[in-house]
């Protein structure tokens, strides 16, 4: 997908609002460690593969909101059928995996 894709940045901004709303409305707090180990947006030569222990949806929402680089996700194909969320993922041309075909 393109670096300046307006759909991606619109989604990232919506996610910023969502995680800050979770803090304000529900009292959700978070602590992020290790951000100093990631290259900055100014260092365009560095690519990063960011893996996380997927324990909740929170990191999926937080990464685009907190990181200055555009991200590309590898996700299960079934998510394409979730209204709005899946449609946006399909529009951004990210990689999906059909887990039914083993």
5-50 pLDDT tens trace = 787 788 888 888 988 898 999 998 888 888 787 776 566 666 777 7
C-beta of residue 66 within 8 angstroms of C-beta of residue 41:
no
Answer yes or no: is pLDDT of 4 > 70: no
Render the burial of 54-69: b for 16+ CB within 10 Å, e for the rest: eeeeeebbbbbbeeeb
* N- to C-terminal Cα separation, the chain: 27
Say what the pTM is: 0.64
**CA 67 to CA 69: how far, in whole Å?**
6
**CA 56 to CA 22: how far, in whole Å?**
14
Q: Of 6-15, 42-51, 53-62, 93-102, which range is least confident?
A: 42-51
Tell me, what's the pLDDT at 1?
Answer: 43
């Amino acid at each position: 997908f393109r670096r300046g894709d307006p759909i991606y940045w619109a989604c990232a901004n919506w996610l910023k609002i969502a995680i800050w709303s979770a803090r304000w409305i529900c009292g959700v707090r978070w602590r992020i460690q290790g951000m100093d180990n990631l290259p900055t947006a100014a260092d365009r030569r560095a690519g990063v593969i960011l893996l996380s222990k997927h324990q909740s949806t929170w990191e999926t929402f937080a990464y685009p909101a907190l990181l200055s680089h555009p991200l590309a996700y590898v996700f299960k194909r079934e998510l394409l059928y979730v209204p709005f969320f899946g449609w946006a993922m399909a529009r951004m041309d990210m990689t999906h995996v059909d887990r039914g075909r083993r």
